[in-house]
Amino acid sequence: ENDPIRDDTESSDDDYDVTPASPVPEEYQDEYTAIEAMHKCFYRRYSACPAFYVGSLIKACEAAFSSAMIEERRPVLAYIHNDKSKLANIFCSDILCSATIIEYLLKNYIVWPFDVTLEANRNMLTNIWQEMFQDQLLNDLDESKYPKLIGIKRIAQAQQGDSLVFGYQPKLLLEGYVLVRNQKISNRGIVANELAIFKKECDENEQALSYYLNIQARLGRNAILRIVKYITLIDAINAFTINILLLLSESETTVEICDPDILFINTILPKLKPNQGVSLRLTPIWYCTEQDLSRLISFINIITLSLLNFQDKELIIIYQNYFPRIESLCLWWDNEVNFTLLRDLLGYLKYSVKRFEVHCPGYVCPHSIPDQCGTQFFAAYRIEYFLFDLSNFPLPPTSDCTEQLPSCFLITTVNLIKSMPNLQYFQLITNVDSISKLLDLNEWIRMTSYCPLLTKITLRLLGHMELDEEMSHNIIEIQNKLRSLPRKTHFQVIFN
């Protein structure tokens, strides 16, 4: 049963030694005549065959996706035949020309066949393929790799204004007698299932294209680009489909990359320009290796690094080596932060870091831990902006000593800021209940003595309260005193 197929012109049922004839026994100048000859030959051999599309491959693709109704669009299935392959006859008789496969293909695919037994026809197909896909998929002389089934879906290749430029993308489904996806030996059921999987993939792709075009028409591209500025790249893809990458690339919109895995790095990031990735966010679920980071090195403009629940201080050195242009370091914790960790961390920062942010629900009072109140000093000379945000589900401090020392938190914060001699702007966000512990005039004066360039201090207090006369007096006193100093520091309190 595995012998080569017989020459169609032979009448003897017993002679299997003749060199098999190609379904296209001559060299043809165009696709039309080649496919018509192949169609006739298949009917002679197998008494049935799929409904072949007689025309060029580009016309087949245009016909497949021309309908305004998404459910009427169909992928193209290219069947590539080589009579010199011993598997070709078996595949056609047992699978491709079976009634169940023919019926399924008629309803779900446009089938475009081509025979490459003769070199001239193989060269013709190679030229067609390269012109449409810039792909070397069919430049293959190995007869054992035939027949081939190749699914073709429509993709958006670029965005021009509010319109998409469409192209087509091939995917090799079967090679020889083996499925490419899982290396299973094919039979009728396995091939039918593989065709259904690719059809579903194409349907979902068409739905995504339609959704993206509809939402772009409703919101407008400018509104979409404004939204993208406030979310990560993966969130933008989830919200607007992967087709948002075309708009981002065309507009050169900068994006934030979050926990990029290998698939994301290899398939998503290449669709963007290297200067578009400006922010990198990493969480503990992202397992960092040197190889992972090296894949991101093409994004030369990473200037913001955000780390969630960060503990390993030495990783800061590695990150800064890979992304030497980091200007902003943002640290987020779900639990309380230790002031000692922050102080030690400053010793690892390079001169490029100008903006330092800490976001956490609370803090561990350094006086509660032995040997945590040392005087070791690291100067982060380039930090110009420091944000200390305690607004994330505020927690009371661990081992709070403010009963004995009301200004404990402020004193410790000033001691930390002592390491930032070039600080120009300090902002503290905390609960309104903390205000009474933040109005120590001497500590604010001490802060300005460490930071001669400090021009602005903002206390942003969450919640509402009626200020008593003493608090109001203290705020005004701090404002007047800091304005009277040589650096004329502006002190403001904002209630949210």
pLDDT in tens, 383-428: 999 999 998 755 555 555 656 666 788 999 999 999 999 999 999 9
- Lowest mean pLDDT segment, chosen from 73-82, 89-98, 124-133: 124-133
The pLDDT of residue 340 is above 50: yes
pLDDT of amino acid 404:
60
Phi-psi region of 118 (alpha: psi -120 to 50; beta: other; left: phi over 0): beta
The full length of the chain comes to 496
Collapsing DSSP to helix, strand or coil, 85 comes out as coil
The pLDDT of residue 478 is above 50: yes
pLDDT of amino acid 426:
98
The pLDDT of residue 381 is above 80: no
* Better-predicted residue by pLDDT, 8 or 454: 454
Q: Which residues contact 107 (CB under 8 A, 6 or more apart)?
A: none
Q: What is the pLDDT of residues 269-296, one digit of tens each?
A: 888 888 899 999 998 877 667 777 777 8
* Better-predicted residue by pLDDT, 370 or 426: 426
Q: What is the pLDDT of residues 201-225, one digit of tens each?
A: 999 999 999 999 999 999 998 999 9
Confidence of residue 371 (pLDDT cuts 50, 70, 90): very low
The pLDDT of residue 357 is above 60: yes
pLDDT of amino acid 158:
85
Residue 261 neighbours by CB distance under 10 Å: 13
pLDDT of amino acid 11:
35
Task: Give the residue from 326, 314, 333 showing the smallest Cα distance to 355.
Answer: 326
pLDDT of amino acid 37:
86
The pLDDT of residue 8 is above 60: no
End-to-end CA distance of the chain: 82
User: If you average pLDDT over residues 456-482, what whole number do you get?
Assistant: 91
User: If you average pLDDT over residues 237-250, what whole number do you get?
Assistant: 92
d(C-alpha 89, C-alpha 83), whole Å: 8
456 phi/psi in degrees, rounded to 5: -150, 135
- Lowest mean pLDDT segment, chosen from 159-168, 422-431, 451-460: 159-168
The rounded mean pLDDT for the chain is 85
Q: What is the pLDDT of residues 18-43, one digit of tens each?
A: 334 455 556 667 788 888 888 888 98
* Better-predicted residue by pLDDT, 275 or 458: 458
Please tell me the pTM assigned to this model: 0.73
The pLDDT of residue 12 is above 50: no
Task: Give the residue from 137, 11, 110, 101 showing the smallest Cα distance to 51.
Answer: 110
Beta bridge partner(s), residue 148: 80, 175
The pLDDT of residue 359 is above 50: yes
Query: What percentage of the chain reaches a pLDDT higher than 70?
Result: 87
The pLDDT of residue 372 is above 60: no
pLDDT of amino acid 367:
61
* Better-predicted residue by pLDDT, 233 or 487: 233
**Within 13 Å, how many C-alpha atoms sit on residue 259's CB side?**
8
Domains recognised in the chain with CATH numbers: 31-210 (3.40.30.10)
* Better-predicted residue by pLDDT, 244 or 143: 244
Query: What percentage of the chain reaches a pLDDT higher than 90?
Result: 51
pLDDT of amino acid 488:
92
* Better-predicted residue by pLDDT, 7 or 241: 241
pLDDT of amino acid 22:
52
User: If you average pLDDT over residues 313-337, what whole number do you get?
Assistant: 90
Confidence of residue 481 (pLDDT cuts 50, 70, 90): very high
pLDDT of amino acid 99:
94
**Within 13 Å, how many C-alpha atoms sit on residue 446's CB side?**
16
pLDDT of amino acid 194:
96
The pLDDT of residue 74 is above 50: yes
Report how far apart, in Å, the C-alpha atoms of 491 and of each of 209, 421, 445, 470, 483 are: 52, 18, 11, 17, 8
The pLDDT of residue 9 is above 50: no
